[in-house]
Structure 1
Amino acid sequence: MDRIVLRGLRAVGRHGVLEAERRDGQPFALDVALHLDTAEAAAGDDLSATVDYGGLAEELVTVLTGEPVALLETLAARVAQRCLDRSGRIAAVDVVVHKPQAPLTVPFEDVELVVRRVRRVRGVRP
């Protein structure tokens, strides 16, 4: 499988379990790796045979800035599903959600949640 990687998509979201996180918002970032076969697109130099990552990036930022959720797990799942819904060509997606200003009481650099979602094909186990 080939990969298209979007790294460091950033936006302010209102996700978290604390009232202040929902009220004030905070920065979030995404890294997304799309797993797909790009041979057809390369052979024909054809955007329709791959994934328009510019349009997808805009959609993913709307997930970050959209309806608040309590858990990073929920946010990552929504991002992953949006990617899989974008194109049937995507076989799997890896999503990293970064929450660099998480409300921790100790020094830290970043909080990350990493998920992988694989397209389920009827009759085939991933």
Structure 2
Amino acid sequence: MDCIHLTGIRSYGYTGYLPEEQILGQWFEVDVKLWLDLSSSGETDAIEDTVDYRSIISLVQDSVKTSKFALVERLTASIADSILALSDRVTQVQVILSKPAAPIPDFSGKISIDIIKKR
């Protein structure tokens, strides 16, 4: 199966377990993999035969900006579900959502959630 990779989608959002995360917000980074058949679009050069990834990027950014969940796991799953609902062509989606600056004392790494959903 063919795959489209969308990486480094950044958006400011208000998901987090701590009250200040839902008030002050923070940056999130999202990577998406879309599995679908690209054979037609590879021959026709027509956007109708693929997924317009501009709409996927917009969906991800809007989801991060407007959602207020306690858990990033819920936000990640919600994005994956929304992508599958948006496009019938996508048979499987992988969403990796990262908090590059999680508010955890003495922790300078990032937290990432990786969810794969199939149709």
TM-score (norm 1): 0.91
The superposition leaves residues 7-30 of structure 1 with CA deviations (integer Å, 9 ceiling, x where unpaired) of 010011000111110110000010
In 2, Cα distance between the equivalents of 1:55 and 1:12? 18
Q: CA deviation at 1:106?
A: 2.5
In 2, Cα distance between the equivalents of 1:67 and 1:39? 35
Superposition RMSD on alpha carbons, in Å?
A: 0.9
5+ long unaligned stretches in structure 1: 120-126
In 1, Cα distance between the equivalents of 2:57 and 2:92? 17
Residue of structure 1 equivalent to 2:8: 8
The superposition leaves residues 76-120 of structure 1 with CA deviations (integer Å, 9 ceiling, x where unpaired) of 11110111112111010011000011111222321100000000x
Runs of at least 4 residues off by over 4 Å: none
Q: CA deviation at 1:55?
A: 1.7
The superposition leaves residues 2-55 of structure 1 with CA deviations (integer Å, 9 ceiling, x where unpaired) of 111110100110001111101100000100000111001111111111100012
5+ long unaligned stretches in structure 2: none
* Count of matched residue pairs: 119
**Per the alignment, in what secondary structure is the counterpart of residue 7 of structure 1?**
strand
TM-score (norm 2): 0.96
Residue of structure 2 equivalent to 1:123: none
